[in-house]
Structure 1
Amino acid sequence: MKILNSNPEVTQGPDQMFKTTNLKITHLVLPKGKVIKRHRSLMTVTVVSIKGSIVFHTDDAKTVLTPGKAVVMTPGEFHWLEAPDQDGEVIVVHGVLAPQEEE
Structure 2
Amino acid sequence: MQILNPDPAVTQGPDRMLSERHLSIVRLVLPKGTTIKRHRSLMTVTVVAIKGAIVFHTDDEETRLAPGQAVVMQPAEFHWLEAPDEDGEVMVVHGVLAD
Provide the TM-score with structure 2 as the length reference. Answer: 0.99
Percent pairwise identity: 73
- After superposition, what is the alpha-carbon deviation per residue over 1:53-102, rounded to whole angstroms, capped at 9, x for unaligned? 11000001111111110000000000000111000000000000001xxx
Give distance in 1, aligned partners of 2:28 and 2:66.
14
Q: Does 1:81 align with 2:81?
A: yes
Give 1 or 2 for the bigger CA radius of gyration: 1
> In the alignment, what sits opposite 2:90?
90
Corresponding residue pairs, total: 99
Give distance in 1, aligned partners of 2:38 and 2:8.
26
Q: Aligned Cα RMSD in Å?
A: 0.5
Read off the aligned partner of 2:89 and give its amino acid letter.
E
- The gaps in structure 1 that reach 5 residues or longer are none
Superposition misfits of 4+ residues, deviation over 3 angstroms:
none
> In the alignment, what sits opposite 2:35?
35
> In the alignment, what sits opposite 2:67?
67
